[in-house]
Amino acid sequence: MKTKYIALVASLFLSVGAFAQHNEEVTIEGTYRPKVNKVDKIVLKPETPEQSFTMPDSEVKVLDVDRRFRLNIEKLGPLAYNTKKGAGDDLAKNFLMAGFGTRISPLFLFNHNSSLSKSLDLSIGLKHYSSWHNIKQYAPSGFMNNAIEVGLAKRDFMDMQLRGKVYYRNDAYHYYGVKLIEVPAGVTPEKAAPQQQYNTIGTQWDLTSTTTRLGEFKHNVALGYHYLFGQVGGGIEHLAKAKYDLAYVDSWWGKKSHPQKLGVIVDAQYGHNGFVGQATVSRGLIRLNPYFEMGGDFYRLHLGAGVDAASYFNATFGGIGVYPDVKGSLFVLNNSLEFYAGLNGGRQWRSYSELIGENPFVHVLSDFEISKVKLGFEGGVRTNILNTVDVHVGVRYRNTDRDYFFRQCIDLSGNHPYNSFDVIYDDTKLVSVLGNIRWLAMDKLTVNAGFTYNKCDPANEAHAWYRPTTEGELNLTYQLNDALSFDASFLYQGGRWGQRSMGNVYQSVKLEDVYDLGLGANYKIKDQFTVFVKADNLLNRKYQLFVNYPVAGIEAFAGIKMAF
């Protein structure tokens, strides 16, 4: 669903080969999904959502680092121009991408989009990605991700648009966080590195007003549910979400092209985590967010407040909190220069499925608490130069109670998989300074670069475990001609600390900096048929994003993309 972006959406440069419908979160991906820092959108004038499914992103990045990176670099929004579309971006009913990697790594993606009627669209997606080549001197280290998704979109539904999907995901991993020479006597490698499986069944539905008439109420209803169950220990998770946005848009003063908006958002979540033979935990979180929005030729303003309450139903009441929800932008120099700032806060809930998305070795026996952002701030400057260069400089601040970290847990009693991770919590203060630049040169070369410096101060822990102090990324795409294109990527993370378990004592470990270089090429044989090659981690660095879990070295991929 497309809307006017006044506060630009934070995203990642880094993406796996995947497929999506519209601009909503309907991408089929594996469990390792990099997290995205989101900035709320300000919608002053409703717009009609997209009325057809878009083609999937055909970029191929399937290395280990893609599945485990957690970049905080923000992606610039399209202030003035759109980069040239690459091969496979034209609309088609079917899209197929298939490839094979040197680590015995097959990749298969398929997406089907069609219209069942003039107002009803259907989409079907399939995915498989796996690797069964073990890292030398380590216990078994394979993984497999499978997914299937079916989506529907009803465009004309009483001045509303209905979108929905049902999906199933199966993700399997071997824990390999131990060298074979370090396996204790009497423990077999398979037991020291057991196979874990996560199965997820879920659905999401969204009902949105499409009318652009003033003086009417606008509605948006979003519902979601998933059931996750794991093989090791029988861990389960039920998670239900509901969100209702009711707003009235009218022009009480000023130009009709810049109406005002008065609304309220009600957001509720309920989750239940269980484990065979262990106590279960149920949590609830509800948030009420009234707001008012207005804008003019050179400014946008969002004024609101959030009131939320949390409860652990079988333990304690989490209390009630009130937080600011204020943000605005000032545009100067013919709207080519934007200054923006905002204040926010509120409780945040990370489900078990989200945590294993960052670290699939997190055990279900971990505590799953609700964090509380007491105060958050964001501010910065965005500008466009000559319609070819976008520049963004920003600063972020966040004061959080019960922020989460990962801690290694080596347990030979059988309560935890060997060398798995617990989730621990501490109060933190985080300051981030970031910069991004995007440059389109001669309509052939696209350059995306970003850098972030993070200063995270936990109240009790010695370090902000596994969080990088510095992050950087550079992506280059060169379209030589209509048939041949090249791309290159370089990723960097530094200043990360982990913990190594020494019995009941934890030892701080400074982790090796991450340097990852990738190169690729696409050759369009016909308009509907493209071949690709890709080489990742060309520096062959087996860095560790978690202690004792090194990524694999260099890998080459080759395959085809078809649109028909």
Q: Among 37, 95, 32, which residue's Cα sits nearest to residue 63?
A: 32
The neighbour count for residue 367, using CB atoms within 10 Å, is 12
Give the whole-angstrom CA distance, residue 377 versus residue 398: 7
Q: Using only C-alpha atoms, what is the Rg of the chain?
A: 24
Say whether pTM exceeds 0.85.
Answer: no
The neighbour count for residue 504, using CB atoms within 10 Å, is 5
User: Has residue 557 got a pLDDT over 60?
Assistant: yes
User: Has residue 31 got a pLDDT over 90?
Assistant: no
Residue 54 lies in a domain: no
Ranges 78-87, 95-104, 190-199, 419-428: which has the least confidence: 78-87
**Burial code of 173-196, b = ≥16 C-beta within 10 A, e = fewer?**
bbbbbbeeeebeeeeebeebbbbb
- pLDDT-derived band at 89 (thresholds 50, 70, 90) equals very low
What would the DSSP string read from start to end of 475-489? EEEEE-SSSEEEEEE
Task: Identify the residue with better confidence: 67 or 127.
Answer: 127
Give residue 443's pLDDT.
Answer: 83
Residue 286 lies in a domain: yes
Of the chain, the percentage scoring pLDDT greater than 70 comes to: 76
- pLDDT-derived band at 140 (thresholds 50, 70, 90) equals low
Task: Identify the residue with better confidence: 461 or 312.
Answer: 461
CA 249 to the chain's CA centroid: 31
Task: State which H helix or E strand residue 409 sits in.
Answer: strand 389-409
Ranges 104-113, 130-139, 369-378: which has the least confidence: 130-139
505-510 mean pLDDT: 85
The neighbour count for residue 116, using CB atoms within 10 Å, is 11
User: Has residue 267 got a pLDDT over 70?
Assistant: yes
User: Has residue 262 got a pLDDT over 90?
Assistant: yes
Q: What is the CATH number of the domain that holds 338?
A: 2.40.170.20
Give the whole-angstrom CA distance, residue 561 versus residue 207: 33
Residue 36 lies in a domain: no
442-465 mean pLDDT: 93
**C-alpha distances out from residue 204 to 25, 150, 163, 400, 494, Å:** 10, 11, 8, 29, 37
**C-alpha distances out from residue 289 to 205, 285, 310, 376, Å:** 21, 13, 15, 16
What is the CB-side half-sphere exposure of residue 180 using CA atoms within 13 A? 10
**Which residue type is seen at 417?**
P
- Hey, which residues does 311 pair with through a beta bridge? 284, 317
Give the whole-angstrom CA distance, residue 504 versus residue 167: 41
Provide the 3-class DSSP secondary structure of residue 301: strand
Task: Identify the residue with better confidence: 133 or 307.
Answer: 307
The neighbour count for residue 402, using CB atoms within 10 Å, is 16
Give the whole-angstrom CA distance, residue 114 versus residue 98: 21
User: Has residue 99 got a pLDDT over 80?
Assistant: yes
Q: Among 527, 540, 506, which residue's Cα sits nearest to residue 406?
A: 506
Domain span at residue 522 reads 64-563
Domain count for the chain: 1
The tens digit of pLDDT for each residue in 147-187 reads 999 999 998 877 789 999 999 999 888 766 677 677 777 77
Task: Identify the residue with better confidence: 428 or 362.
Answer: 428
Residue 147 lies in a domain: yes
224-243 mean pLDDT: 86
Of the chain, the percentage scoring pLDDT greater than 90 comes to: 43
User: Has residue 47 got a pLDDT over 60?
Assistant: no
Residue 52 lies in a domain: no
Give residue 150's pLDDT.
Answer: 94
Give residue 23's pLDDT.
Answer: 27
Residue 49 lies in a domain: no
User: Has residue 98 got a pLDDT over 50?
Assistant: yes
Q: Of 183-192, 380-389, 436-445, 446-455, which one has max mean pLDDT? A: 446-455
The neighbour count for residue 328, using CB atoms within 10 Å, is 19
Task: Identify the residue with better confidence: 548 or 431.
Answer: 431
Residue 392 lies in a domain: yes
User: Has residue 25 got a pLDDT over 50?
Assistant: no
Provide the 3-class DSSP secondary structure of residue 474: strand
Ranges 3-7, 236-240, 462-466: which has the least confidence: 3-7
Classify residue 323 by its DSSP letter: E
User: Has residue 27 got a pLDDT over 60?
Assistant: no
Task: Identify the residue with better confidence: 440 or 193.
Answer: 440
96-102 mean pLDDT: 90
Q: CB neighbours of 539 closer than 8 A, spacing ≥ 6? A: 515, 516, 517, 554
Residue 18 lies in a domain: no
Q: CB neighbours of 462 closer than 8 A, spacing ≥ 6? A: 497, 508
The neighbour count for residue 72, using CB atoms within 10 Å, is 20
Structure token pair of residue 259: 């109406």
- pLDDT-derived band at 118 (thresholds 50, 70, 90) equals confident
